[in-house]
């Protein structure tokens, strides 16, 4: 301090002191909570280091298990208790209506940057005019397929679920006969959690079986197309899909896939960049197509993705907002998309030559950002989590052989009527 102030005039010394004080006051310690898959943690830590160097703040990462349902339960507990220890929450795209009251309105802080994001991603995070979170990245799932195996057996990329089932079976049987006993036909997420709601919604919509609850609030899930779609998925368990599927989440399926032990996999875009890494057994041997369609329907992909929100209970809201704006900025999204193939939410990156050259895969889903299927969270609002949990339970029971799809959907319909009461 002495040497810093030596030679200063009185007013110069006062200025230096006040600058030091203001720097100290601005150097906050904040925390961000997030679930992690693949290389998320390493990437986030690199980006936080740059943020810390730039701003003087320090950021602690609180990491949660990868299941988005587990994250939601934990968030709800912390937020209900008004926990001041977490400043920034990474939120799933479907949570905005349920958690809106617990986060600050980002509108006044983002007027300068709001046009940088896809309008659909901003809309999804706006509840009654309040901007609940800033879009970080979007996820659109696809059908991962082994290019080498389809070529070896002279098969086309399947366009319908039935074609996928037949091709998966044929290649799996042939590979097993050839000595590869660990080979499976199709991997998907069958554990009872939010991921199964996403997979199940795709089966329904692609088969003309509706959106569980329609945009006008109608409960549509109990219908023959939906039942047939669930029965078809049940037929995969233990035939083309491992019996363990009933406990698989995204990372379980990616693990088997990346060892080279499956012909097809339904997964989100993050699995692409990881599958192309040097240590991956399938590097250069796979690609991703739209998910198959049902007989009467069209391919349907559930819109996923994550956003960043600032807790109403944060004691450092300014630093927290700074972090949210930093991580979701086009520059930070660009850094991230070079290593992680989820779809950016910043419009400019879709025209960026470096991203186009290094990670064209992540840019494939631009149109899907508008057309992907939304889970019924906007219509069921604060009841969405329960709707989802009732749906994944009916799907899980069907997959496990616990009741027919028809019976399970009938029971689900009754429970949804009860939950809705006089309105969503
Ligand atoms: C992915 C999606 C998210 C979804 C979750 C389900 O992480 O981005 O929106 O809820 O999968 O497992």
Contact between residue 240 and residue 166 where contact means Cβ atoms under 8 Å apart = no
**How many angstroms separate the alpha carbon of residue 240 from the centre of ligand 1?**
24
Is the CB–ligand 1 distance for residue 268 below 6 Å?
yes
Closest protein CA for atom 11 of ligand 1: 195
Is the CB–ligand 1 distance for residue 343 below 6 Å?
no
Strand partners, 64: 35
Superfamily name and number for 2-132+304-371: Periplasmic binding protein-like II (3.40.190.10)
Q: How far is CA 224 from CA 149, 161, 204, 230, 272, in A?
A: 35, 17, 10, 10, 35
pLDDT tens digit sequence for 149-167: 999 999 999 999 999 999 9
- Per-residue model confidence (pLDDT) at position 348: 97
Is the CB–ligand 1 distance for residue 135 below 6 Å?
no
Closest protein CA for atom 2 of ligand 1: 304
CATH architecture of 151-301+378-424: 3-Layer(aba) Sandwich (3.40)
**How many angstroms separate the alpha carbon of residue 272 from the centre of ligand 1?**
15
Q: Which residue has the higher pLDDT, 1 or 27?
A: 27
- Per-residue model confidence (pLDDT) at position 295: 75
Domain limits, CATH 3.40.190.10, in the chain: 2-132+304-371, 151-301+378-424
- Per-residue model confidence (pLDDT) at position 149: 98
pLDDT tens digit sequence for 174-202: 999 999 999 999 999 999 999 999 999 99
Mean pLDDT of the chain: 93
Work out the pLDDT band at 25, boundaries 50, 70, 90.
Answer: low
pTM of the predicted model as reported, rounded to 2 decimal places: 0.93
Cα–Cα distance for residue pair 344/365, rounded to 1 Å: 9
Strand partners, 59: 30
Looking at the predicted structure, is the pLDDT value of residue 6 above 50? no
- Per-residue model confidence (pLDDT) at position 26: 74
Q: How far is CA 346 from CA 132, 159, 246, in A?
A: 17, 31, 36
Mean pLDDT, to the nearest integer, of 29-42? 95
Looking at the predicted structure, is the pLDDT value of residue 218 above 80? yes
Cα–Cα distance for residue pair 9/284, rounded to 1 Å: 67
Query: Could you give the residue ranges of the DSSP H alpha helices within 119-190?
Result: 119-124, 147-152, 161-177
């Amino acid at each position: 301090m002495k040497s810093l102030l030596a030679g200063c005039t009185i007013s110069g010394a006062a200025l230096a002191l006040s600058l030091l004080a203001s720097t100290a006051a601005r150097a906050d310690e904040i925390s961000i909570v997030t679930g992690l898959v693949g290389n998320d943690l390493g990437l986030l830590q690199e980006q936080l280091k740059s943020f810390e160097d730039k701003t003087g703040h320090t950021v602690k990462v609180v990491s949660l298990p990868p299941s988005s349902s587990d994250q939601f339960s934990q968030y709800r507990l912390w937020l209900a208790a008004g926990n001041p220890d977490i400043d920034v929450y990474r939120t799933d795209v479907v949570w905005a209506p349920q958690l809106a009251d617990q986060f600050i309105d980002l509108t006044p802080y983002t007027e300068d940057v709001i046009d940088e994001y896809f309008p659909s991603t901003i809309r999804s995070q706006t509840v009654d005019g309040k901007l609940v979170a800033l879009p970080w990245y979007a996820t659109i799932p696809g059908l991962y397929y082994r290019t080498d195996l389809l070529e070896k057996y002279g098969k086309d990329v399947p366009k319908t679920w039935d074609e996928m089932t037949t091709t998966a079976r044929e290649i799996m049987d042939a590979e097993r006969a050839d000595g590869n006993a660990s080979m499976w036909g199709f991997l998907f997420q069958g554990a009872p959690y939010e991921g199964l709601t996403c997979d199940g919604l795709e089966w329904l919509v692609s088969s003309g079986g509706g959106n569980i609850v329609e945009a006008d609030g109608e409960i549509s899930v109990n219908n023959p197309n939906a039942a047939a779609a669930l029965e078809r998925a049940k037929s995969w368990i233990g035939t083309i899909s491992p019996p363990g599927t009933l406990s698989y989440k995204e990372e379980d399926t990616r693990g088997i896939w990346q060892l080279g032990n499956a012909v097809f996999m339904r997964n989100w875009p993050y699995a692409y960049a990881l599958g192309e890494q040097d240590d991956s057994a399938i590097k250069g041997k796979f690609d991703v197509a739209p998910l198959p369609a049902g007989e009467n329907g069209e391919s349907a992909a559930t819109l996923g993705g994550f956003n960043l929100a600032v807790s109403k209970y944060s004691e450092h809201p300014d630093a927290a907002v700074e972090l949210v704006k930093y991580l979701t900025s086009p520059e930070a999204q660009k850094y991230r998309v070079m290593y992680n193939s989820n779809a950016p939410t910043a419009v400019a990156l879709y025209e960026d030559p470096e991203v186009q050259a290094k990670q064209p895969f992540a840019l494939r889903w631009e149109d899907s950002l508008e057309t992907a299927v939304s889970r019924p969270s906007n219509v069921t609002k604060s009841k969405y989590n329960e709707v989802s949990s009732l749906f994944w339970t009916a799907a899980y029971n069907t997959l496990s052989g616990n009741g027919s799809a028809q019976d399970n959907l009938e029971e689900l319909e009754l429970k949804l009527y009860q939950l809705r009461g006089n309105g969503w």
